[in-house]
Amino acid sequence: MNSQVFSLKIIIMGFSGVGKSSVALNYTHNIILTEFNQAHGDEFKKTIQINDHTILLEIYDTSEDEFVALRNQYIKQGDGFVLIYSITSKESFEVLQQIYEDIYQVRKKEYNEHIPIIIVCNKNDLEDDRQVTKEEGINYADSINCPFIECNTKTREDINRIFEVLTIDVLEHKEFITEENEARKKQKGCCAV
Ligand SMILES: Nc1nc2c(ncn2[C@@H]2O[C@H](COP(=O)(O)OP(=O)(O)OP(=O)(O)O)[C@@H](O)[C@H]2O)c(=O)[nH]1
Ligand SMILES: [Mg+2]
């Protein structure tokens, strides 16, 4: 068992009302959000175990009303991003695509460079009010090479999987500065340039 705890910043973004706070609260505190206990702009923490690593997830719940500077700060600091839209809102699906582009712009990355992002379609319990087909969601996620999950925070279907899939993606792409890695680098005789 590796005793080192890695800390990762996960940023939740999406159009207003899609369920960002619900997902964050649901995942970290097993709480189902109602109209009576609205939340926003909070930071949540949860520790998970992936392989032999203990990972502390610092989850930032953003809001559409945030100042651009603050939003960009979140984007710059995020290790991974949960981009949420709602099956009941076509607009939220379109806004999500803009957010994806904003992330690449703020990070000054080319689209073929990897940023750990998961596309989440929330509120799939509201099938009768569906405005975005599952195929549209899957096709969009495929087109940008991101995993896709449809879920809802009422039955809490697949909420854990969002963070597991994203964390594994982050771990696969993040260069951790650990004693283990440093020792390996020295062995190989490589140095930073
Ligand atoms: N039916 C259904 N309602 C949901 C689901 N997730 C969230 N809601 C409801 O949708 C409303 C908005 O949820 P929030 O979690 O506050 O959404 P948000 O994205 O944080 O909203 P803002 O912070 O205002 O942008 C609340 O009334 C939630 O109870 C879901 O999966 N299914
Ligand atoms: Mg909120």
Is the CB of 19 within 6 Å of ligand 1? yes
Q: 191 C-alpha vs ligand 2 centroid, how far in Å?
A: 44
Give the atom of ligand 1 at the shortest distance from the alpha carbon of 84.
19
Q: Is the dihedral of CA 36, 64, 93, 114 positive or negative?
A: negative
89 close to ligand 1 (CB < 6 Angstrom) = no
* pLDDT tens, position by position, 29-59: 765 555 445 555 467 889 998 888 899 999 9
Q: What's the CA-to-centroid distance between 167 and ligand 2, angstroms?
A: 22
* Dihedral sign computed on CA atoms, order 30, 40, 158, 128: positive
CA distances to 7, 17, 26, 60 from 70, rounded to whole Å, are 21, 19, 24, 12
Residue 23 above 70 pLDDT?
yes
pTM to 2 decimal places:
0.88
Kind of pairing between the strands at 53-61 and 117-122: unpaired
The domains of the chain, with CATH numbers, are: 5-188 (3.40.50.300)
Over the stretch 73-116, which tens digit does the pLDDT of each residue have?
999 999 999 999 999 999 999 999 999 999 999 999 999 999 99
